[in-house]
Structure 1
């Protein structure tokens, strides 16, 4: 039936015309509306049309090989569908939805399940991935695919998606993207940037992943108002940065992670600065771990509360002293505030004593928390038998948290 330029179809898999025939017969700009039922997948969309499942009761089911839906045209919209049963190949990146070299794509309100990769954008720009529910195949974590993958894809919005039991959400070789209000749990990297810059990452919530957010070889992005909880395991990190420059990290909550912040040679480029401000770094094993620090970062108005260690440095010879600290709150600050202006009368200084042994020599971490290590560290603080390392000097420490 055609009406006002729209093609409206409602059929079940038992009827003669498969979904691909309907796509082939549609005109540019047509809307294919699917009723409840199961439709044959492994379809190709090569023209600007809309497919709308209305209430996710229309299931597009792949045959277990390749992509369930492949898009090669701009101005395609996939709405309110259930998409399932992609192939199992990492080599060919078998996905629920693959967009290849197109723009102005809208993927909204869909449920993707039992798809190795979820939404895979390859050179797809000026598009939106909104309010989808995405999970991978029921296999071990390392064998799953990425829930959302942006590859050489720019100026996109990824917002409001619920990602669970997948591997990563990745932004690689892509710039000027907005990653906002997504929720991810039980994955590896909730969000992983590589060679990706000038993006906005805000209001996401990630929990119970191996790593919350990790930036590698990237520059010039704003990361604000995110929440990362319970990143644990051998390399559990709230927000991590490797060779990353000119970032602003602000108003984030990093709580109950193995490491709140992990900074590996970041900033990387000489003359650049990373700024960390107004963050809450709470109840982590280590508030900040520095690795191979060479250039300055700025830390201001952050709260460090309940961390087993405020900061550690695992690289002898790092230029930790280049960092600038001001107006941060440290719950182990032992000074006074006689004039009641909220600023401590003496500087906050954080030293590492015997702790540096297990920081520099990972095999000694077996003894971390043991009675002998605790006693030796206590003695080292009273009468240092080796030169302690100064990690933090904040000349204007807050005596009350910056956040309620």
Structure 2
């Protein structure tokens, strides 16, 4: 004879068309009001799963150990955590965090009940992340923060993500010894700038030239105003940057390290910026601001989208079949040339605005490793010629 199903457990369907199970259980009367209290649990994938959860709650009630939970699912817990978290970080960081949860975490584990999340479920989630995402470790860390929040509030005893192991990194398709090249030689940079100068997009040329000759970050360049440039002293003060906030809005923030720096400018860059200022005044007319006028505004005299520099760079690189280079690669190029010209590590650190010299040294190691690799190739090619 088949076992009779528990009448407290009800089936229902979600928007995805799948059948899930739920139950409502009596907790007793409220000591203050005398009104009956209930708790509802839903999202169970089988009757058996719901029966086990119901039996556990009924046992806790009988032993006087049951505590009514405010949050049932991971998604509900995340929403509570997010309210606290959003006041602790910058808007650009909040924007990235939101995307991690919306695109990767919540679709995978958002509908799981808090007590249902165990090491096996969390491990499978991380394994799948690792297969498709470069930043799997970062996403896992954010997913774990929500359960840390639950532990602190005594909603669960332990965080299962703490026992999850990150899969080993997959071997790259290219040779392990190869160092990816994201900087130009002196000859390549001169060719790039020469070709961009011949193109009709003057703003693009100014942007790429300034990035290459100052080593400043893209966000710092797009936030640069004419007040930051002292033509007489031939100096530029870098004290802010732009970032992408919630709903893709652009806003001004401090530099990456939170510290401003003043760097010297060469004559060529000074002359170029003076010429560009005249062109900009002529094109903007009355819209040219006396204060806080951006050096590189968009058509509405507001912040340029950060993707612009990449598009400008890629257009010329693809058109003239130049070696690949990212916008950040111009910063590496500047670093490489400073070192080649004889600048010491401290000078490079100060000019680039690194918070500590270790960052500068790491970049230097990366660049010199590739340079050493190319030297060997040059020697081999010479012998064959």
Give the TM-score band, short-chain normalised: under 0.3
Question: Larger helix proportion, structure 1 or 2?
Answer: 2
Larger Rg: 2
TM-score, normalised with respect to structure 2 = 0.24
Question: Larger strand proportion, structure 1 or 2?
Answer: 1
Question: Larger relative CO (CA 8 A, sep 6+): 1 or 2?
Answer: 2
